[in-house]
A and B are shown apart, each in its own frame.
Chain A
Amino acid sequence: MNVLACERLSRWYGDVIAVNDLTVEVEPGITGVLGPNGAGKTSLLRMATGLVRPSAGTIRVLGEDPWDNPALAARVGYVPEGDAPWRDLSGLQCATLAARLSGLAPGRAEEAAREKLARVGLSSAMDRRVEAYSRGMRQKLKFALALAHDPELLILDEPLLGTDPPTRRDLVQLIKGLAAEGKSVLVSTHVLPDVEAMTQRILLVNHGRLMAYGEVAKIRDLLERYPRTVRLATPSPRPVGAALWGWESVLSVAAEEGAVVVRTRDPQRFYEDLQRMLLERQDLAVMSVTSPDETIEAVFRYLVEA
């Protein structure tokens, strides 16, 4: 069963579209929800946890509608963005409370809390108040809270944000360990290497749209192998098209009304050649140069380089 299934899913807040017509089916295992800040990752995860409802389309988590669904909530653990809650409590009290809120009996709740705190490496600090925890410890505590009721699916919103390298390593190991136990994980981040440390499968979003879903390597490979489309707006498409014909960097040329559409394997070289040609040929006018494919590439490059 897919852990997440979205069908033409959209969510907007007033005039702002956070998730736009997104259709995807996410398989079990670890999936990185990747995208720059403001891409719509958090909105997608909030819909998956039932904190907000879709404006249009549907979302299913483990096959169920997540809105006001306590039965599903019992199968899902959520690590939200932001700081740990109940900071005036000790780590143990905090985790016990989370377990109690998840419906565990008092004795069983404390037992589960101790177990999960040990799992995230907070055994020795479990009696300290949360407000005395370091940033990394609080992130770990959030994991313990999400794990308190042994969920099948963990939804993690930027869980590594602001953590130091040792904590990051611990949490990555924890996530991988959970996946090894058969749990599914949806983890959002805007840092590709973070995802690559955990999984090869990513769900790439930008401006609320699904840009890619699959293995990181395949996406990278596809981006490299896939010819880029460049659209040149010109009042004289035929002469411009004729001038471009036969260039080494150009795969194909098609003339449209008011534009020439070029497919190229080497956009860098194509732009250099184009600039040179326009300087030499004063009779050819090109009003604008756009590439619909550049967005995904730029996003990916940004994420990889971040």
Chain B
Amino acid sequence: MAAPIGTLFGLSLRGWLSARGVWAAFAVALVPMLLTGSWVATHPADVEVTGVFADLERIRDGDEVTFAVQLRNVGGVDVGGFNVSLSVFHALPRVEGNRLVVNNETGRLAWEMSAETRMRPSRDFFQGERLVERVEGLPAGASTTVTFSWQAKFGVWLVLAQADPEDAVGEINERNNLAQHRPPGTEALARGEPTPLVVPFRLPEAGPRAPTGLEGEGETQANLSVRVEFAPREPRLFEFVNITATVVNSGPEPVENATFRLRAGRVDGGAFSIVPPVQDQLRTVSLGVGNSSTITISWQPPFLETYWIQAYAQPPAGALDPSPDDNVVAVPFGMLMPDHRQLVEDLRPLLAPQLEPPPRATIKAFYQAIFEFLHLHIILPFVALFYAAGVLADERERGTLPYVLTRPIPRWLLPLAKFAAGFVVAATAVILGIAAAFAVMFGAPGGDVGFLTTPLLASLAALFAYSAFFVLLGVLVDRPYLVGVAFVLGWETIAGALVPWVSNLTISHHVRKAFGGWPMDQGVQWAPAEGEPTTALLVVLLSGVAFLVAAAVAMKRREFPA
């Protein structure tokens, strides 16, 4: 005779549906999520930073730059006062060997700190600035512009504007609160990629001191003149600069053994610095009338710095140059950063994580918090307790247990059938609650299917494990509801929060771990990059299976004396 699994399941299902308080349990599972969803759906505030623009096209060191941050209320309701911040922080590049290195850790900290108003990072540490302006309310659909002044400094900067960094406005979407300044020519870059603002040096006015005695002394006329050419004119880091100095004899007589020198390097206090080593070529040249001589240097300046090129010619002994001013030329040049695109390529892996906005309390995050702490932590275990713990207690109370246990049914089947029925009913209540919340939120701006899939799957996984545990409890003890309440409040909630090792042994911990890795507004990804969520989900499901097996085994030994 086949075991009447279907009948047992139907009987259990009927038992749950006709149980006292079933509608209250349904309401508990449904109403909080529905109310939360409704609240979220009716509060669609959303401020967007639509752009950050500078008033200068070519910004150089020392320029006074005005950044205009454009804001728009794209939500459905007016919003009150909020701040807007402009963070300008140094990407801190430096050259190591032939490579540009960005101090990523400092940059990351700077970014996090720039968003944390309670922290006042030291200027030594936070190499950048954070400017804050206030917007006194923005009606729905309205736009406004907030301006910030910044004195440009040499270097590579990231300029980020953020609306409402203190999270004064509960928004449905915080991801559009952030925008970065895009220097001209970089607009084609994909949104979200780091787009550095490169501020080159302002060329210095004070160069190397000119050598003395360039006019010479004697009777022979030597009219020398020097000119310098270099290319490229705005060299980029790692590029070679080709410098050519030319000396011409424009005098009426030939010149024998004139001194001709070309130097290039950093200048400090009017003299060439030895760091990096100065490029220096000195020659003695003899020039016929109208003849010229050149010195060429090909040099790779190593730092993001300004450099000077100096060339001069000195007549030989016994010769006089009547116009010595053109015997010396000094020209500065500043190194530019490498090409923007190349720079972005270099910076991308280092800076991309910094451009993610820090997690903030959106209204949807509020929904997520309600889901996680109220629904997942309290409601769900109690709904599971209601349906699963009474696996035998309710049958005993109704006096129907002997009628079931003395039928030709294997004992182990009873808790499993009860579990299946309880799970179906409880899952229906939970699914209805989440689906209803999603239904009212879906039409709202920022509605995302992740708000259906993630809570649903998290709830079903948790419900499975909790129900299985309470079925086991129902088989093992005579007062499962009392023990179950103690378990939910004492073990899962209080001990789990206070004692670290207990936390690892709670169902809620693993459920949070499984679905915390899959944020709601991104939906559930079934192939997460990290293995942890999948492992945690497996832990939840396998513990549920283990509880059920234990319940089936325990049922084989359980007696019912009265």
Contacts and interface: CB of A to CB of B under 8 A. Distances in A.
A252 interface: no
B559 A53 contact: yes
Contact of B402 (A78, A86, A97): A78
27 contacts: A13-B561, A43-B561, A50-B405, A50-B406, A51-B402, A51-B406, A51-B560, A52-B561, A68-B411, A70-B1, A70-B407, A70-B409, A70-B410, A73-B408, A78-B402, A85-B398, A86-B400, A97-B11, A98-B407, A100-B7, A101-B4, A101-B404, A102-B1, A102-B407, A103-B1, A103-B407, A145-B403
Interface in A29-65: 43, 46, 49-53
A189 to B, nearest CB: 18
Interface string B408-439: 11110000000000000000000000000000
B7 A97 contact: yes
Given A88-B18, A103-B4, 5 more contacts: A68-B410, A70-B408, A70-B409, A85-B400, A145-B403
4 closest A-B pairs by beta carbon, nearest first, are A103-B1, A74-B408, A85-B400, A70-B408
Most chain A beta-carbon contacts within 10 A, residue among B8, B407, B411: B407
Nearest to A89: B14
B341 interface: no
A182 interface: no
A101 B7 contact: yes
Nearest to B405: A51
Contacts of A86: 400, 403
A102 B403 contact: no
A82 interface: yes
Contacts of B3: 70, 103
A147 to B, nearest CB: 13
A80 B407 CA distance: 13
A71 B405 CA distance: 13
B276 interface: no
Contacts of A7: none
Interface in A11-39: 13
B406 A76 contact: yes
Consensus secondary structure, chain B interface? loop
Contact of B8 (A53, A83, A101): A101
Contacts of B409: 70, 73, 101
B407 A46 contact: no
A80 B408 contact: no
B119 interface: no
B32 to A, nearest CB: 31
Contacts of A85: 398-400, 403
B399 A83 contact: yes
A102 B408 CA distance: 6
B18 to A, nearest CB: 6
A46 B561 contact: yes
Contacts of B498: none
Interface of B: 1-4, 7-8, 11, 18, 398-400, 402-411, 556, 559-561
Interface of A: 13, 43, 46, 49-53, 68, 70-71, 73-74, 76, 78, 80, 82-83, 85-86, 88, 97-98, 100-103, 145, 149
B561 A73 contact: no
B19 to A, nearest CB: 11
Contacts of B407: 70, 73, 98, 101-103
Contacts of A50: 405-406
B36 to A, nearest CB: 36
Most chain A beta-carbon contacts within 10 A, residue among B8, B402, B560: B402
A149 B402 CA distance: 16
Nearest to A72: B408
Contacts of A53: 559
Contacts of B406: 49-51, 73, 76, 78, 80
Nearest to B403: A85
Contacts of B11: 97, 101
B393 to A, nearest CB: 15
A35 B408 CA distance: 29
Contacts of A49: 402, 406
A45 B561 CA distance: 11
Contacts of B559: 51-53
Nearest to B413: A70
A108 B88 CA distance: 82
A71 B406 CA distance: 11
Contact of B403 (A43, A68, A74, A80): A80
A46 B561 CA distance: 8
A80 B402 contact: yes
A78 B410 CA distance: 17
A3 B407 CA distance: 18
B404 to A, nearest CB: 7
A88 B400 CA distance: 12
A73 B408 CA distance: 5
B54 to A, nearest CB: 77
B392 to A, nearest CB: 12
A73 B413 CA distance: 15
A68 B407 CA distance: 10
Nearest to A11: B561
Contact of B1 (A74, A76, A80, A82): A74
A74 B1 CA distance: 8
B560 A103 contact: no
Contacts of A80: 402-403, 406
Contacts of A73: 406-409
B400 to A, nearest CB: 4
Contacts of A76: 406
Most chain B beta-carbon contacts within 10 A, residue among A43, A76, A102: A102
A73 B2 CA distance: 13
Contact of B408 (A71, A83, A88): A71
Given A85-B400, A98-B403, A103 B408 contact: yes
Contacts of A71: 408
A101 B405 CA distance: 10
A71 B410 CA distance: 9
A68 B2 contact: no
A149 B406 CA distance: 12
A83 B18 CA distance: 19
Nearest to B11: A97
A101 B3 CA distance: 8
B37 to A, nearest CB: 35
A97 B14 CA distance: 12
A23 to B, nearest CB: 22
Contacts of B7: 97, 100-101
Contacts of A98: 403, 407
Contacts of B560: 46, 51-52
Contacts of B1: 70, 74, 102-103
Contacts of B561: 13, 43, 46, 51-52
Contacts of B402: 49, 51, 78, 80
